[in-house]
Amino acid sequence: MVKGPIPLRRSERLREIIEERIATGIYLPGMPLDETELATEFKVSRTPVREALMQLAFSGLIVMQPRRSAVVAEVSPQRICEMFEVMAELEAMCGRLAARRMTDADQHALLEAHQACKEAGEKNDPDEYYRRNEEFHSALYAASHNGFLIDECKNLKRRVSAYRRLQLRVRDRMRTSHEEHTEVYMAIVTGDGELAANLLKDHIIVQGERFADLISTL
Q: Give the DSSP letter of residue 29.
A: T
CA separation for the pair 114, 101 (Å, rounded): 19
Look at residue 6 in the predicted model and tell me its pLDDT: 46
Domains of the chain, each with CATH number or no CATH: 10-72 (1.10.10.10), 77-217 (1.20.120.530)
How far apart, in Å, are the Cα atoms of 139 and each of 8, 133, 154? 19, 10, 11
CA separation for the pair 76, 11 (Å, rounded): 26
| Residue pLDDT, tens place only, 160-197 | 887 787 777 777 888 999 999 999 999 999 999 999 99
Q: What is the pTM of this model?
A: 0.79
Of 198, 193, 179, the closest CA to residue 144 belongs to 193
Q: Does residue 2 surpass a pLDDT of 50?
A: no
| Residue pLDDT, tens place only, 124-164 | 888 889 889 999 999 999 999 999 999 999 989 888 887 78
